[in-house]
Amino acid sequence: MNRRDFFTLTASAGCSAVVLANPAVNKMSEFSKSKKEDKSMSKELSGDIIVVGGGLGGCATALAACRNGLNVIMTEETDWIGGQVSQQGVPPDENPWIETHGAPASFLDYRNRVRAYYKRNYPLTADALNRTNLNPGDGSVSRLCHEPKVAVSVLIEMLAPYMSSGKLTILCNYKAKSADVDGDLVRAVQMVHLIDGKKLVLSAPYFVDATECGDLLPLTKTEYVTGTESKNQTKELHAAEKADPKNNQAFTVCFAMDYQPETNHLIDRPKNYDFWSNYIPALTPAWPGKSLDLTDSNPTTLKPRKMGFRPDGKSTDPLFNLWNYRRIIHKNNFVKGTYNGDITIVNWPQNDYLLGNLIDVSEEEFKKNVASAKQLNLSLFYWLQTSAPRADGGLGWPGLRLRGDVMGTEDGMAKYPYIRESRRIKALLTILEEHVGAENRKLVAGETEGKKAIDFKDSVGIGYYHIDLHPSTKGNNYIDIDSLPFQIPLGALLPQRVNNLLPANKNIGTTHITNGCYRLHPIEWSIGEAVGMLIAFSKNKKIPVKAIRERNDLLSEFQKLIRSQGVETHWHI
Do residues 379 and 273 make contact, with C-beta atoms less than 8 angstroms apart?
yes
**What are the residue boundaries of the structural domains of the chain, listed by start?**
3-219, 224-234+425-564, 251-407
Using pLDDT thresholds of 50, 70 and 90, give the confidence band for residue 15: low
Q: Are 499 and 518 in contact (CB under 8 A)?
A: no
Looking at the DSSP bridge assignments, the partners of residue 259 are 400
pTM comes to: 0.94
Question: What is the tens place of the pLDDT at every residue in 27-60?
Answer: 444 454 444 444 445 799 999 999 999 999 999 9
Of the candidate ranges 6-20, 222-236, 406-420, the one whose mean pLDDT is the lowest: 6-20
DSSP character at residue 242: S
The pLDDT confidence band at residue 313, using thresholds 50, 70 and 90, is confident
Q: Report residue 270 CA to chain centroid gap.
A: 29
CB 185 within 8 A of CB 499: yes
508 vs 499: CA distance, rounded Å: 15
CATH T-level assignment (fold) for domain 3-219: FAD/NAD(P)-binding domain (3.50.50)
Q: What is the pLDDT of residues 62-89, one digit of tens each?
A: 999 999 999 999 999 999 999 999 999 9
544 band by pLDDT with thresholds 50, 70 and 90 = very high
**Comparing C-alpha atoms, which of 437, 504, 505, 493 is closest to residue 465?**
437
How confident is residue 316, by pLDDT bands cut at 50, 70 and 90? low
The answer, yes or no, to whether residue 108 has pLDDT greater than 70, is yes
Lowest mean pLDDT among 24-33, 65-74, 222-231, 555-564: 24-33
